Structure 1
């Protein structure tokens, strides 16, 4: 098969000829392109996306890839790419090969030893070629541990793991120190080094062995009971148990297994195990405060009965422990508590007792614990957590009481972002309770400590409350004058003029505060008569530069560009992977992995990412792209986003293009905004919008928010397709309109994965909701939250206009949905339908 045909088949996702070849021939793909084996290997290890009609001839081969990931072929392919490619492909291939060697179980001890030795050689090559790679360093530690090079592990990461970074390194350091201690070998020596066997454990004298077991037990306790636990700890627990299942006493073993159960959110199992540990050794929870925290979580969440028996048990136990610590004279406390540690434990006990009391919705009783805990709280995150519970409890009782506490504690917040959910709920509850004076007071307290989105929201809502006469203008005006907002004195004209002037001052704050978000900025602009232009005139003609023919649109242009890139890489031209051999050309070279970012010459990350599109792996590219985005300039980010779009990966394209919005001070040009707000399925969406008389910009915004234009996506709840329709809703709507429009059906109803059918059904459903509720915004709430629920909410707030009703919706998801769709509709109207942002908002949200 010639190079061009092979490249064409791979790009189309046809891997049949790869699967038909013997595994030991996989390396021949490097003749096509030194980078090709890497991408093909990733494909062989990953489930395939749904086959298109054009690829029907290769469905059987594709299904074979999906059904049985081929580690044997992938291993040969990764080795070929690590040996012949260079740059990021070489690095990533080496890391992927290491993962296969280290994580896949070998069929025999001899093969395990051989694979461990091979992995160590590759890891050494990684470290030598990519010394700054964090992932290469972590893999090196794992390889050392797998090869039984315990002395080298301890030298690299420290006997106590103090120089280890991340779970892989800490796990390697623990295992090396544990084996050394269990064998009785001095720290850092080679005695007892073994690749997982127990042969070295009898080295040394009986006394040394006994001392070693004590030291090994101590290391196990520190590793498993100190700090957070994760998947690495579970693997290490199995390894340790296989070495010496009798090493740890029953209480310790139960506590470790309980912590692992908490990590899995199996709180009932965790509580049963913790109870056994409490019975055998209750002091364990004072030696290891993280275990105490997990015990609190188990009591809090393992509530299997309506009487909260487990929660009450936990409250009683933690209250007793806290009282004993508080009343015990300092001279009689254990040594660990003599320099202030007792207060830290008392704080944890009180905090978790309060959390358990909250679990029973006994907020006033919970407050007693939280108020007692607050003076003992360490500064920073833990103090913020205690304050958050106090504020949230107060809000559960009444919004005005929450504002009273807010005035006391907000100035001392360590991290205001930790309170974002409380601040969000507070605004809605104050509006629902029509406590406008309290809302104004909350804004006064929050403005100095909050981000622009919060300031914009509160300011807009207060402006609306003033303009509607809900809030007298005098106190808001005083606040504006004190803040230097430039509003003229009150009383110089009519009350209506004063009210208007004050409202405009708050709208001005909202307009100028939230420049990063369209929703409140557009609402404020519509009140101020301002024009929101997200693309300033001097920037509207800017466009990103692309290379390799990527300006040629459509499948043909993309295919031409891909062939040119493949030919360039195979021939060692500048836009390839920097030649074939790289540094040394040995199998062992690799790099720091997708999570490690990119370094090296300009454009290297973009070249690496283009390979995913050249070899039919577009569905695997996003995690790598996101990890490398910081090393890419704006033109490269836009170019890769365009490749996602050309591959039909609209959701990935939007997510990756959004990286540009996160860059401080960066202003998007028109082409970049079109990547964030694309127009796929134009004929289907515009046909549905016209047929059911709904604004096209609104329906585009809904589809973007619902499905990111993935036509066959299925949500966790079972909603399908562009407009995310539930199957039963699709059937009901189809029965109503099937005589009016042509729909595609499958055995059990309309084909919701068909873009046109889904758009027609979803468009009719949205138009029907608009007709029933009389408002596009309330229709959007119903689309997300359900018509019956929204009707109940609306009936409770009949006096509020639509924009203020949004603030009162109790479901954060539905509130955010309304904001997102409305803001996206404004952008679509601006980009494609000749409307201003504020005009779209005014059309969809009339007074």
Structure 2
């Protein structure tokens, strides 16, 4: 790709409505046809758009040619759209292209084309939308493959909305088939009577067998009476029984589904087939939530496991374990069956799911058993992030029950495959427990072990919160060290060979289509370089600044945040600033001055509460940038004399009320502590006061010197809070505050953490 010159990049800062000049068109060469086609389409010039899209499809760079091919499926005459849809499917062939093509072809009744294009698709793994169109097309053409393929699709994978949409087509197909069979049946009965009459009439007269055979053939159906009898028996349709059962389980109608289990097994026995895995899973769910006798059902699954292949025995063992668990008095059997299930599968998702259930069961029984299980199976975890919630629950359990040494064992001795987040969390907390003398660690000096733990947090791609906390503990002040810890994560990404995706984004910006940038970035984010993402985020931020459109602010931040979380290697400082922007700066600066608050704290609060989305409303009813409940907003409006007719979604009003409310929480918190005030902002002042009192009493029982203001140190207090939402909120705000102070005030991250924590 040609390097885009500086004057073009400057277009990123202009209005989203800016139109192009000849220099821009010349810079993009053949690719400009795509963007000009978009403009023509917007202006209602369909013929011109068609012409330009066709040129771009032929001459444009890879991704722009594809987008042109996609656009052509929705323009022109029916014949042109059909032709373009077939072209898209045949030339690109992936699920996204095939789904778009089938969608368009189906609208125009091109069922034969859909069948041909999808002949090689997998019923077990291709996109469900594609298979839906294939099934509907087969039914429309009365293709003999329909019933068998529909059944296989229905039983080989988890049900989806596409399955349910196509079920009506299936039943209509069967009803028509049965009507034909009913008509043949009536004809069969009449002909059978006529045949009997012929037999009685013809035989005595002349006994001419050739004449009798001729008369008989005239009234027999094609294929003979035996073929018709077979068709009548098939009208019972055992496949539909299985399909209907799956739908019952999908809709969580577990009690009626449970009553049908024996019938399902009988159906498979009569078919002479081994029961499908998805059916075994459904039977397990129906039993788990539909039975009244968990123990008897568990025993039944035990017996079932002995007669199944290893692959299928997994389901029997897994649900036997869960049924023994629900029976309530059989912990040994529960653990045993979970372990049998783990030994019966080679599928990563099944293994992780089973281990997750086993570990969560052991949260209710024994932390020693958890450590034993992690020691045996923890290194085999496949999707480490799947276990983050378990390790969060385990952390709370171990800290609240003073099992500090066990916390260290989980981190250092089980060899578990932690996610980056959990690894950083357990390393940091273990270091702090060693520092506080709560965990012994190994035989090395306490200080050395703590230093090693904090250094591990900084040298690995752990969460930003634990990084800034580790910087505080290690007193990191060297500018280059801080940059290396904040701006580098893991091994750099491989160089992206195809810059076509970035070229497309640059074109959207230069030709005035900002509304397309975010969706395109989401669709292709794995193909963008970090430089591409920074350009897009920066451009959207400038669009919002010039057009006063908050939608672009939020999109800019989302791109920067996702890019920062996933990027490896060197992170440009510009990306950090885009990830921690200062939107609504005028309003925030004024509120902070009026209520004597540090700016970094309000920026961190707004980012954590609403992600700078001025129009957002939470599930609990909190509204606007600072997420105020209606009652709180009314109180603040009275105190600030804003008046009754305020707009809670107005950024200036919302920021002013939220800042004043936080300032009042600080005044009412123990020791005017800003961090406790933030917890109160999230969970309520009464809850925070009760937590502080409980922790002071609990810590006093240890006989160790007390920390202010809650007895235990503030970082361990945060990790022990009973509300998961407040724990996560605290981490977000502290990390964001440290970054805002560092990026815009030149303050060391450790200093900001120290001000908030100690």
Q: For this structure pair, what is the TM-score category when the shorter chain's length is used for normalisation? A: 0.7 to 0.9
Task: Check 1:778–1:98 CA distance in 2 against 1; reply closer, same or farther (3 A cut).
Answer: farther
Task: Check 1:599–1:173 CA distance in 2 against 1; reply closer, same or farther (3 A cut).
Answer: farther
- Of residues 777, 781, 789, the one that matches 2:675 is 777
1:35 equivalenced with 2:20 (yes/no): no
> Mind listing any 5+ residue stretches in structure 2 that lack a counterpart?
1-14, 19-32, 178-234, 488-495, 545-549, 700-711
CA distance in 1, matches of 2:89, 2:484: 48
- Of residues 460, 474, 477, the one that matches 2:428 is 460
Shift of 1:143: 5.6
1:323 equivalenced with 2:303 (yes/no): yes
Equivalent residue, structure 2, for 1:121: 83
1:343 equivalenced with 2:318 (yes/no): no
1:256 equivalenced with 2:243 (yes/no): yes
From the two aligned structures, give the one with the greater helix fraction.
Answer: 2
1:705 equivalenced with 2:689 (yes/no): no
Equivalent residue, structure 2, for 1:721: 624
Shift of 1:538: 11
1:389 equivalenced with 2:357 (yes/no): yes
1:826 equivalenced with 2:722 (yes/no): no
Task: Check 1:253–1:784 CA distance in 2 against 1; reply closer, same or farther (3 A cut).
Answer: farther
Equivalent residue, structure 2, for 1:408: 376
C-alpha RMSD of matched pairs (Å): 4.0
Task: Check 1:835–1:11 CA distance in 2 against 1; reply closer, same or farther (3 A cut).
Answer: closer
Shift of 1:138: 3.6
Equivalent residue, structure 1, for 2:70: 95
1:291 equivalenced with 2:279 (yes/no): yes
Q: Give yes or no for contact 2:356–2:387 (8 Å, CA) kept in 1.
A: yes
- Of residues 428, 451, 456, the one that matches 1:504 is 451
TM, length-normalised to structure 2: 0.73
Mapping for residues 7-156 of structure 1, pairs under 5 Å: 33-37=36-40, 40=42, 82-83=53-54, 87=60, 91-92=66-67, 94-95=69-70, 98=73, 115=78, 119-127=81-89, 130-131=91-92, 134-141=95-102, 156=117
1:329-383 Cα deviation digits (max 9, x unpaired)? xxxxxxxxxxxx5333332123124335556777836435424433333453323
1:766 equivalenced with 2:662 (yes/no): yes
More displaced stretch, 222-231 vs 81-90: 81-90
Equivalent residue, structure 1, for 2:151: 221
Aligned pairs, how many? Answer: 633
Equivalent residue, structure 2, for 1:668: 571
More displaced stretch, 449-458 vs 430-439: 449-458
Higher relative contact order (CA 8 A, sep 6+): 1
Task: Check 1:608–1:786 CA distance in 2 against 1; reply closer, same or farther (3 A cut).
Answer: farther
Mapping for residues 735-814 of structure 1, pairs under 5 Å: 735=638, 737-739=639-641, 743=642, 745-746=644-645, 750-774=646-670, 775-798=673-696, 799=699, 800-814=712-726
Shift of 1:718: 1.7
More displaced stretch, 280-289 vs 367-376: 280-289
Mapping for residues 412-811 of structure 1, pairs under 5 Å: 412-446=380-414, 449-472=417-440, 476-478=441-443, 490=445, 499-514=446-461, 516-531=462-477, 533=479, 601=500, 603-610=502-509, 614-615=512-513, 618=515, 621-646=517-542, 647=544, 648=550, 649-662=552-565, 665-735=568-638, 737-739=639-641, 743=642, 745-746=644-645, 750-774=646-670, 775-798=673-696, 799=699, 800-811=712-723
CA distance in 2, matches of 1:818, 1:249: 61
Shift of 1:751: 2.0
Task: Check 1:75–1:658 CA distance in 2 against 1; reply closer, same or farther (3 A cut).
Answer: farther
Equivalent residue, structure 1, for 2:752: 840
Q: Give yes or no for contact 2:602–2:659 (8 Å, CA) kept in 1.
A: yes
1:104-126 Cα deviation digits (max 9, x unpaired)? xxxxxxxxxx95x5543121232
Shift of 1:444: 1.7
Indicate the structure (1 or 2) with the bigger Cα radius of gyration. 2
SS in 1 for 2:613: coil
Equivalent residue, structure 2, for 1:272: 256
TM, length-normalised to structure 1: 0.66
Shift of 1:753: 0.6
Shift of 1:387: 2.1
CA distance in 2, matches of 1:431, 1:235: 49
